[in-house]
């Protein structure tokens, strides 16, 4: 690890000034950044530690929205009984995301900005990685192993997969993020925060230099209470998703009034299955229609040889998540 400067600003404005300098990276919890520095993927000239900034650690469940400070701990939100009742998909996606040690250190703002776990990105022994070294190529597309890679949203330059869990719930439920930067404050719809790789996979979000995520807002709707996060993974204990689904449903008798489906472990950015949602709206939610929705959700997937297994697996995950969410309409588990 190379030498670097370390700053711990006392105010958000000081943090923005320090973070806008070329070569600076933001530290918030450090569960991703420190790891990337240890393995030589990130070599910042300066770290701006915002972990202690006042006013960003809280969260509140309101009548029409849930507001999270960007520095709220994953562990605090995941274990909150009121949050479990109001929005089970949010707590489940956080609880299943990491070990207890990581959940107590990691913050929500950093969690949604985490980097890919593509082995070719994280191992600097591989020279070909357009995300790490733009223009160098993509080892996965050049005959490498592709079982951990995206089947949605990839490009000729990159097929790295977005690894998070919480983000799938946020995109399914129309969340937004608040930011503050050199240009002032703004609110970004969550589905506009992350950027498809295209020809520039090194650009992952729309955030500008020095712009800091300060909060996350999730609208409170009926489907949020009847929600579920289902995650299929190689091992039961805190592995990244092979395929996952963040879903919620609102029923009017036997008819689907509203349904939300976010897909994880399968795309280059957080991904929403809108065509599957439209198929279900206005009709019944049965095992047959849930399985058809799963099939529709993956109908446009473009897998490589090693990632084709994600299509049937993902379809089953969507169906299972939908049926569990439906059972929660009447307070079931």
Instruction: Give me the residue spans of the domains in the chain.
Output: 5-52, 222-325
Q: Does pLDDT of 333 surpass 60?
A: no
> Six-digit token pair at 79?
């274990």
Q: Do residues 218 and 72 lie in contact, with contact meaning Cβ atoms separated by under 8 Å?
A: no
From 14-18, 232-236, 266-270, the region with the lowest mean pLDDT: 232-236
> Six-digit token pair at 119?
């082995």
Q: Does pLDDT of 2 surpass 80?
A: no
Note the pLDDT tens digit of each residue in 82-108. Answer: 999 999 999 999 998 877 777 877 899
Phi and psi, residue 321, nearest 5°: -65, -40
Q: Does pLDDT of 19 surpass 80?
A: yes
List Cα–Cα distances, 70 to 77, 202, 216, in angstroms.
Answer: 12, 23, 7
Fold of 222-325: Enolase-like; domain 1 (3.30.390)
pLDDT of residue 330: 65
Percent of the chain with pLDDT over 70: 97
Note the pLDDT tens digit of each residue in 189-205. Answer: 999 999 999 999 999 99
Note the pLDDT tens digit of each residue in 119-152. Answer: 999 999 998 999 999 999 999 999 999 999 999 9
Q: Do residues 131 and 124 lie in contact, with contact meaning Cβ atoms separated by under 8 Å?
A: no
Nearest to 259, CA basis, from 325, 327, 189: 325
pLDDT band at residue 298, thresholds of 50, 70 and 90? very high
Thinking of the domain 5-52, which architecture would CATH place it in?
2-Layer Sandwich (3.30)
The structure's pTM equals 0.94
């Amino acid at each position: 690890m190379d030498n670097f400067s370390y700053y711990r600003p006392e105010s958000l404005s000081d943090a923005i000034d320090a973070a806008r300098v070329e070569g600076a990276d933001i530290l918030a919890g450090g569960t991703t950044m420190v790891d990337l520095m240890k393995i030589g993927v990130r070599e910042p000239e300066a770290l701006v530690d915002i972990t202690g900034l006042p006013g960003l650690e809280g969260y509140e469940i309101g009548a029409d929205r849930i507001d999270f400070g960007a520095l709220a701990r994953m562990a605090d939100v995941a274990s909150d009984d009121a949050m479990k009742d109001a929005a089970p998909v949010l707590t489940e996606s956080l609880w299943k995301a990491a070990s207890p040690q990581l959940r107590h250190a990691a913050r929500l703002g950093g969690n949604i900005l985490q980097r890919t776990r593509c082995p070719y990105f994280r191992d600097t022994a591989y020279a070909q990685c357009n995300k790490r070294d733009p223009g160098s190529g993509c080892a996965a597309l050049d005959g490498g192993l592709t079982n951990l890679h995206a089947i949605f949203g990839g490009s000729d330059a990159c097929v790295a997969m977005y690894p998070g869990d919480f983000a799938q719930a946020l995109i399914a439920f129309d969340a937004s993020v608040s930011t503050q930067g050199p240009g002032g404050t703004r609110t970004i719809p969550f589905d506009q925060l992350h950027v498809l790789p295209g020809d520039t996979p090194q650009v992952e979000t729309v955030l500008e230099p020095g712009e800091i995520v300060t909060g996350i807002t999730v609208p409170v709707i009926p489907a949020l209470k009847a929600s579920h996060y289902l995650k299929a993974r190689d091992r039961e204990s805190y592995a990244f998703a092979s395929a996952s689904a963040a879903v919620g449903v609102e029923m009017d008798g036997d008819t689907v009034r509203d349904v939300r489906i976010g897909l994880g472990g399968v795309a280059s950015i957080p991904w929403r299955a809108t065509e599957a949602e439209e198929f279900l709206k206005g009709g019944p939610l049965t095992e047959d229609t849930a399985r058809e929705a799963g099939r529709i959700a993956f109908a446009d997937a473009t897998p490589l040889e090693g990632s084709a297994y994600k299509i049937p697996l993902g379809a089953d995950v969507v169906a299972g998540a939908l049926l569990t969410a439906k059972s929660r309409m009447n307070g079931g588990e």
